[in-house]
Amino acid sequence: MANDLYSFYAQHRNTRVMHKWSHYFEVYERCLSNIRHTNPTLLEIGVQLGGSVEMWREYFGPSARIYGIDINPTAIEHQDVATKVFISDQQDRAFLRSVVQEIGPPDVVIDDGGLNGPAGFICPDPSTTVLSGMTGHGGGVNILGPDKPCHHGPLLNPNGTFCASQAPPAAGCFGAVAIAGIGGSAFNPNSGRFLVTNSSASPTDLTIGTVDVINPNLGSPNGPFVEASFPMPNCMPTSIVQGPGNNFLVGCGDHDGEAFPPNEYVIDGTSGAILATIDNVGGVDETWYNPGDNRYYLAARDMPTGPVMGVIDAKTNQWLVNVPTNSNSHSISVDSTNNHVFVPLQAGAPCTTQSANGCVGVYAQQ
C-alpha cells in the first residue's frame, strides 16, 4: 500500500530538517489515513527544526489546522500564516489548558517531545476529562519509564484502591496500566458502562488485577475514558460476563510467574463490590452465563489439578461441579435452548475417534 508520508520523507521534499524513525510512517498512515481529507486539527508536541510541520501540511492539505508546541524558542521560526507554534514546557498544565482553549479539542495529538524531557509528559489532571490516547507519567511519578498511558479517572494506589482525585496526585499514585494485557469485556446496561478486565493493573504488584470501568462519554469530543477501577486481589482477570440482574462473574487466571490459588469473583457491576468468592475452580480463561439454566460455565484450562469445565449456580453463587476437559481447553459457549455446553478440545483421548485431530466436546447434564 502506498504511504505518502514515507514518500515525502524518503524523497526529501521537506525544506526544513526532519528527524523520524522509518517505522513511524507505517503507524502514521494506519492511524491517520481515514481522517486525511477531513481538514483535521493537528497538534504536534516537539516541532524541533520544523520538517514534520511541512509534512503534515502537505499530507492533510491547506485547510487543515496545524499547531505545534516546543520548549525551544527558536521553534517559533517554523510557524507561518497557516501554522502556529506555541513556545513553552509541555509539563506546564496551565499552558496545555490554554492551548486547548485557544485551538479547541484537537483531532490528532502527536507527542514527539515527551521522551526528550527529563520528566516526560505529565498526565492531565485526573479529576477532569481529557482527550483519549494521551500518554505520560501520571503526576510526575516515574514508575514504568518515560512514557505510559494516562489514566482518565481516579488514579490507583499500589494495592489497586483509588487515590483521591487531585492535581498533582499524591506520591505513589499511578495511572492504571495493563502490563499483562487486556482480557474479556462486557457492557453493563444497568450503568451504561463497559467493564474491561485488566490482567495486571500495577507495575509494582503482579497480584493486583482490576476491572476497569469505561465511560463511553457519548456526545463529548473528548471520547471515552476510564472513570473507575475495581481491584480484584490475587487474580489475573481474564474474562467477565453478566449474570442475573447486576451480578457479573469475573474469571481469574495466572500470569507472569504468579500462580494464584483457585478463585473467581461475583461482583456488583456498578459498585464493584465483591458479592461472592468461589475457590473451587481457578485458572480460568473464558466464562459464559447461560440464562437457560441460570448457571455460569468456566473454561478452567489452568486448574492446578488439571483442565476442567467449572459450573456455578448463578442464583446462589455456589460452585456445583468441575468436569474434566483437555489440555488448553480455554473456550466455552452454551446453547440456552437445550443447555448444551460446547468446549473445543485438543487432540487426545476425550475426542475418542477423533483423538488424533481434536474435536468440540458437547456436554449436557445427566
Q: What is the pLDDT of residues 299-317, one digit of tens each?
A: 998 898 999 999 999 999 9
The per-residue pLDDT for range 230-289, each reduced to its tens digit, is: 888 888 899 999 999 999 999 998 755 567 789 899 999 999 999 999 999 999 999 999
**266 and 295 Cβ atoms separated by less than 8 Å:** no
Burial 98-128 (b: 16+ CB within 10 A, else e): ebeeeeeebbbbbbbbbeeeeebbbbbbbee
d(CA 331, CA 67): 48
- pLDDT band per the 50, 70, 90 thresholds, residue 132: very low
In a domain, 215, yes or no: no
- Residue 157 pLDDT level (bands cut at 50, 70, 90): low
Q: What is the DSSP letter of 132?
A: T
The range of the structural domain enclosing residue 41 comes to: 1-117
The pLDDT tens digits for 2-51 are 687 878 777 777 777 766 666 677 778 888 888 888 988 998 888 777 77
Q: Is there a domain that residue 45 lies in?
A: yes
pLDDT at 130 over 60: no
- Give dist(CA 182, CA 237) in Å, integer: 9
Nearest to 332 by CA among 281, 273, 366: 281
Residue 244: asked if its preceding bond is cis (omega within 30°), the reply is no
- Between 5 and 87, whose confidence is greater? 87
Which pairs from 91-98 meet CB under 8 Å and 24+ separation?
91/117, 91/119, 91/121, 91/122, 91/140, 93/122, 93/124, 93/125, 93/167, 96/124
- Domain assignment present for residue 192? The answer is no
From 126-135, 341-350, 355-364, the region with the lowest mean pLDDT:
126-135
Q: What is the pLDDT of residue 257?
A: 58
Predicted pLDDT of residue 293: 97
Give me the CATH number covering residue 53.
3.40.50.150
- The span from the CA of 57 to the CA of 67, in Å, is 10
Over range 60-67, report the average pLDDT. 89
pTM of this structure: 0.58
Domain count, the chain: 1
Does residue 98 lie in a domain region?
yes
Check: CB of residue 84 under 8 Å from CB of residue 151. no
Cα–Cα distance for residue pair 116/112, rounded to 1 Å: 8
Residue 316 belongs to a domain: no
Q: Is residue 165 part of a domain?
A: no
3-state secondary structure (DSSP) of residue 135: strand
Residue located via cell numbers 520538517: 51
Asked, for residue 79, whether it belongs to a domain, the answer is: yes
Is position 320 within any domain?
A: no
